[in-house]
Amino acid sequence: MTTTVPRATPRTDGLEERGRLTISDTTVERIAAHAVTEVEGVGGAASRVLGVAVGGENPGTTAKVTAKVSGGTAALDVRLSVAYPASVGETTGNARRHLMRRVGEFTGLSVSRVDITVTALRSATTETRRVR
């Protein structure tokens, strides 16, 4: 004996009452700071106090990212260093495209713009200092 089970109909009542997901600026900043580390040739930027660099550019640190989320879009301001002799234009273009894609994947937000400031060109190899 076979029986036919009627299909369940999806409930559509009350969908507008379920709430909203809000993603903070800080969350987007952290996601973008992590995503930019995935780009080859990009390093961290020195911290700044009153506009003056404190310490140096360090490839081991992350880039500094500021995000502004408005509605379903995000705008990013990124400060980073680029490994010398890589092309600054090519490296920042790769970083911009990667950030737009990855932030969109993780948050569902549309990234309207990515402003990038290159704070330094750093040597791809570490220099060994000698005392004479």
What pLDDT is stored for residue 96 in this prediction? 95
Alpha-carbon distance of 21 to 130, in angstroms, equals 56
Question: Distances in Å between the alpha carbon of 69 and those of 20, 73, 75, 100?
Answer: 15, 6, 7, 13
DSSP string, 23-61: --HHHHHHHHHHHHTTSTTEE---EEETTEEES---TTS
Burial bucket for residue 45 (CB in 10 Å: 0-12, 13-18, 19+): buried
Contact 32, 76 (CB under 8 A): yes
Per-residue confidence band for 3, with pLDDT thresholds at 50, 70 and 90: very low
pTM of model > 0.85? no
Which residues are CB-contacts of 33 (< 8 A; sequence separation ≥ 6)? 62, 63, 64, 65
Question: In order of start, what are the domains of the chain with their CATH numbers?
Answer: 23-122 (3.30.70.1350)
The tens digit of pLDDT for each residue in 64-123 reads 999 999 988 999 999 999 998 989 999 999 999 999 999 999 999 999 999 999 988 887
